[in-house]
Amino acid sequence: MSENKNANKADGVSKIIIILLVLLIVLIGAFGSYIFFFGGASKLHADSASNNTVSALTITSADENTYSLDEAVVNLSDTDAQRYLKVKVSFGYDAKSSKLKNELESETVNKKPILSDAVNGILRSKKSSGFTVKGIEDTKQQILNAVNPVLKNGKISHVYFEELVVQ
């Protein structure tokens, strides 16, 4: 009788082990399928990389002040159709540059019309087809090159388009 009880206990333990092994194999298979079919590993890696990028951008922008121009609507130089550009431009500069901040925000010498004219002149010379990713980066560099000579107490380091609509 005791041999029968020991055999039943051994059968019960072996059944539990078999069930756990089958469950483990199913879970491993499901995880492997997820990675294979949905690219789970690459998405996880991309998410962690984007989180690192966001934190790096946050640190960079914390050391920068911005100065915004008013929203502008500009005619583009397209010859095939009448095209317009609606844009709001902001300039980024070093937060430690108090002289540049005073120059940009001075009430006695208003730099906003001079800066707006420089930006509008560059944008009016563009065609609507020039507003690709590379074209926008080139335009930002041209704006930097046109605006920085006007400033006496520092330099603009970045140009930001808060709003950019081509119609």
Which residue has better confidence, 137 or 60? Answer: 137
**Confidence at residue 28, expressed as pLDDT on a 0 to 100 scale:** 86
Quickly tell me which residue has 């120059």 as its tokens. Answer: 103
CATH code of the domain covering residue 105: 3.30.479.30
d(CA 103, CA 92): 14
pLDDT digits (tens, 9 = 90+) for 31-58: 777 776 666 544 444 444 444 444 344 3
The whole-number pLDDT of residue 15 equals 86
Integer Cα distance of 90 and 88 in angstroms:
7
In this structure, what DSSP letter does residue 95 have? Answer: T
Q: Which domain holds residue 11?
A: 2-61
Q: Are residues 77 and 42 in the same domain?
A: no
Tell me: do 43 and 92 sit in the same domain. Answer: no
Which residues, 6+ apart, have CB-to-CB distance to 122 below 8 Å? 139, 142, 143, 146
Q: What is the pLDDT of residues 123-132, one digit of tens each?
A: 999 999 999 9
pTM beyond 0.75, yes or no: no
